[in-house]
Amino acid sequence: MTSEAAQREAICRAARSFFERGLTAGASGNISLRLEDGGLLVTPTGSSFRDLDPARLSRLDADGRLLTGDKPTKEMALHSAFYATRGARSGAVVHLHSTHSVALSLLPETDPDDALPPLTAYSVMRLGKVRLLPYFRPGDPAMGEAVRALEGRRSAVLLANHGPVVAGADLSAAVYAIEELEETARLALLLRGCDPRLLTPEQVADVVETFEVEWG
């Protein structure tokens, strides 16, 4: 069993890594992690990933009430929707404003039902299909309703004109998956107009079956 203190440190370590690699900037992005009692640790609203204080992370109970720490991110409806619809499959949620993912969300040719082209096996393995959701004002509760409407079928979404959101079984899984999403978005932009050789439907199906990928 990992202590809450260690989980607080892990959130801050992941956040700082994102900031230092340019995957989020200013006071953008948010992370949540579900604890054994059903409560959450959440990065505070208006905070920078550069210098989070583990002691000031928002500690919520299982009903979403703030127990200790600073006020949580205004995107709580988004995080709560993943936990509510995906159950034990979601132990952490990460939301970034990473450049290439945001850029991909702006392109009119991006498929809303399958936003990432099948360029590598790893994007299929870690993300399944990524849904592109429409634009919502930051903090709009309708964002959470859009995720709930997916009924747990997707672990990753792109918010148009905003950024990616990924739920994982634990913090490491969510971190790895959102990194894969950003890298695949970067490849997709680099290859625009180049007619790249995508994975075939048969190759995608093989990865999905072999690694038991959710492909709803």
Closest CA to 118 of 211, 201, 212, 44: 201
- Whether 75 sits among the annotated catalytic residues: the reply is yes
Pairing of strands 66-68, 156-159: unpaired
Q: In this structure, what token pair is assigned to residue 60? A: 């919520």
First to last CA, the chain: 32
Q: Are 11 and 69 in contact (CB under 8 A)?
A: no
Taking the CA of residue 191 as centre, how many other CA atoms within 13 Å lie in the half-sphere pointing to its CB? 14
Sheet holding 30-34, edge to edge: 66-68, 58-60, 40-42, 30-34, 92-95, 163-168, 156-159, 131-133
> H or E segment at 123?
helix 121-127
Distance CA 61, CA 68 (A): 10
Any residues with CB less than 8 A from the CB of 75 and at least 6 apart, and which? 30, 95, 138, 139, 143
Among 4, 36, 75, 202, the active-site one is 75
- Whether 122 sits among the annotated catalytic residues: the reply is yes
Among 4, 122, 176, 183, the active-site one is 122
The residues annotated with a catalytic role in the active site are 75, 122
